[in-house]
Chains A and B, each alone.
Chain A
Amino acid sequence: MDNKKSNTLRGLLLGAGFIAVAAFIFTGCPSQQSMFDSGDAAQKVYVAPGEHDEYYGFFSGGYSGQLSVWGLPSARFLKVIPVFSQDPETGYGYSEETKPLLMTSYGFIPWDDSHHPHISQTNGDADGRWIYINANNTPRIARIDLQTFETKEILELPNTGGNHASSFVTSNSEYVIGATRFSIPYEMDLDVPIDSYSEEFRGALSFIALDPETGMMEMDFQILVPPYNYDLGRAGKGPSSDWVFFTTYNTEEAHTLLEVNASRNDKDYVAAVNWKRAAELVRNGAGETMSAEYYHNYYEGNQGIAINDVKDQVTVLTPQDGQNFIYFLPTPKSPHGVDIDPTGEYIVAGGKLATVIPVHSFSRMIEAIENQRFEGHVENIPILDYDATIIGEVENPGLGPLHTEFDGRGYAYTSVYISSEIVKWSLETFEVVDRIDAYYSIGHLMITGGDTKNPDARYLVGLTKTAKDRYLPTGPKQNHPAQLYDISGDRMQLLLDFPTIGEPHYAQAIRADIVTPNVKQIYEMEDNDHPYALRRVADNRVERDGDVVRIYMSSTRSHFRPDNIEGIRVGDTVYIHLTNLEQEWDVVHGIAVKGANNSEILVAPGQTKSIKWEPTRTGIYPFYCTAFCSALHQEMQGYIRVSAADSDVPLTWSTGGN
């Protein structure tokens, strides 16, 4: 080391030491907070073993069809809730109880693409009772109960192609919305040439009424709209809470090569719908009844086998002159997201091809409607004057702005796909104040407590589409990432970057203390209303009715009753109805039978679940508990003897020689 360098170094060392000591002397012991401010991201996401996270994060599974549950800020993975796809781990979609949930007018569908989870709301705040999520491909909406974290209900949307603008709820969970992404002929099963698009194809906006006590869904009405692509939606808040908003693209009405053909117009529309007015019109008979076929699948009691309630008609409202419930707001340019700020005043659209983020004003929109500032009509829907509704355009937002959420402190955060960043901008000046990289290609973002009147806005999660080099490589296809940012200060700070399941398309997070007091630890045996439940241990039995054999079986640590069964014959259809007689939190039993061509089932304490088994070969079939339940778990097993179809082995069952 030459002298000059070493002197400089010595000087710097002294300087650094002096500054450090001086800083300490002048400021005293650093508080916990100032340690954080110095950039210790690890501290901010550290939740000690045995302690709990402050938020539940619900991340859609995208093409996994499921919903994953995370603790935030630690990003502890808590659970996958199976929703639209079969799950052999739990038996969801394989068990007799859950198979009917996946029935549609197109038959049994084992998969879908789940995009937008949305938590039920009361007075514009998330109430943590239920979470709704859409199926994009075969249009459906599911309701998940946040007492048990289980899918309880699935409703199919009739005459809809691609239910993407879903499943957003209104401020008091009056409605959950759905919409056609791919316009199709509205009339059921209509067989027409594709190039009759403009004449025969239509969009449908769906308004599904929610029962305030049970959260149950009912298709109330659909609004028939021009054949555009209805992409995303959100409900208004506060002054705008009677309204919902949908983005459209493809106002060009292209039906081929949309990449080019649907990107020609300078502006498409945000559709603003006064749902309260529309519902009144429907109540007063303005709608017409049209034939449709769609499934409504749900449980009738606490437990039991889900039922298929098949509907054959739907109420349709076609906008007429003077009905004043739907308007188009011209918006540049193939807008994707439409997001409403916590005050309900700002309607922010993400024009994925636009160079600005356009912000409409709700109060200006109302004024423009009153003053009839229309630049035209399409199919009886007034098109409002752009200058009359727009209140700001955020300049320099990056390339490809998509979705916006809000912190309730006057700032908006927009995800920007092509330039892969998040921009923070002011709702007062409409100027960008901060920006931070996303890894990589961000789609949705979400703020803790977001899309409500009162976001907590401690953290922001960016949901990104490719991981590339972020983690240890796992081959050509890698899991999608999410990034956690601290947004409590002036500048956004990246805290954590973690892989998720499926495609975490959108997510919501809610303060855990709203949810946890209602989470059930067991199913009370006294309330088990399953038709094949065992309510008395002594009732365990096997019954034959023709070729159908039902085994009423119970489990407790560490045995099944019965565990020796004879008299089953090849050609029988055997149902094993397993009731878990445990009443202790998280003591789960499962059952798997050799050669069964479906899955195991896991049965929670106090629950009854059933699996169908059709033995095709004679022999002795072992079965066992799949859940590691106790020290004697390995002893938890049994045998079923299967005899030839014409055998006369009597039907017998036993446990422990009695």
Chain B
Amino acid sequence: MNTYKPILTSIALFLLIPLFYACGGEESSDRQTSQPEVEEAGLSDFELEHGIGPVTEPVEIGEIDPDLVTKGRNIYEMKCEMCHNYQGRMVGPELGNVLERRSPEFVMNFILNPGGMTRDHPVGQELLREYMTVMPFQNVQRDEARAIVEYLRFYYEENY
């Protein structure tokens, strides 16, 4: 008799399968609603010009603030200089004159959201094609990104 036990069990289980299967509907509908929404919309005019990231409005730019320049230079020398020259390309593009090419908001968004910019912004995608590397996020906070922009403004005024 014992030889039949496994067979009997599997047959009994087999009989149950269609019945249980009918119970699965709820879970699968859950799964559908938990799918993240795919971003299909194109970029706004602001995003095209100023990048995608936490900076979503124009940043106030006034007289050059020397304290902010010092703060920005310290962060730049610690976290940016490894891969960027002021003049001429290195791992990434030259930055001495970056504010000729990009807006302050664009530079800040690129620092704060390098992965997103590379993935979703046409300029980021083009830079990836050109430099073949994704800029890393260097744990720079928003106020620090603003300070880096101030330093780059200062550098540009002094050297160009």
**A positions within 8 Å CB-CB of B:** 8-9, 12-13, 16-17, 19-21, 24, 29-30, 522, 524-526, 535-538, 554, 556-559, 561, 581-584, 587, 606, 630-632, 656
Contacts and interface: CB of A to CB of B under 8 A. Distances in A.
21 contacts: A12-B8, A13-B8, A13-B11, A16-B8, A17-B11, A17-B15, A20-B13, A21-B15, A29-B23, A30-B23, A525-B78, A537-B77, A556-B82, A556-B83, A558-B133, A581-B138, A583-B79, A583-B139, A583-B140, A584-B139, A630-B133
A535 B78 contact: yes
Contacts of B8: 9, 12-13, 16
B82 A583 contact: no
Nearest to A559: B91
Contacts of B12: 16-17, 19-20
B136 A587 contact: yes
A583 B15 contact: no
Contacts of B136: 556-557, 582-584, 587
A631 B118 CA distance: 15
A17 B15 CA distance: 7
A559 B90 CA distance: 11
A538 B74 CA distance: 11
Contacts of A631: 132-133
B138 A536 contact: no
Contacts of A29: 20, 22-23
Interface string B63-78: 0000000000000011
B119 to A, nearest CB: 15
B11 A557 contact: no
A526 B22 CA distance: 58
Contact of B20 (A12, A17, A30, A537): A30
A20 B9 CA distance: 10
Contact of B133 (A12, A24, A587, A632): A632
B81 interface: yes
Nearest to A525: B78
B90 A656 contact: yes
Given A20-B15, A581-B78, A581-B79, 4 more contacts: A29-B23, A538-B81, A556-B82, A632-B132
A8 B1 CA distance: 9
Given A12-B8, A554-B82, A24 B138 contact: no
A581 B133 contact: no
B78 A20 contact: no
Contacts of B139: 522, 524-525, 583-584, 606
B138 A583 contact: yes
B19 interface: yes
A9 B5 CA distance: 10
Interface string B1-34: 1001000110111011001101100000000000
Given A29-B23, A30-B20, A538 B77 contact: yes
B77 A536 contact: yes
Contacts of A556: 82-83, 136
Interface string B38-66: 00000000000000000000000000000
Contacts of B90: 656
A541 B77 CA distance: 15
Nearest to B85: A658
A579 to B, nearest CB: 10
A16 B132 CA distance: 64
B54 to A, nearest CB: 17
A317 B15 CA distance: 74
A584 B138 contact: yes
Contacts of B77: 536-538
A587 to B, nearest CB: 7
Contacts of B137: 583-584
A117 B136 CA distance: 37
B19 to A, nearest CB: 5
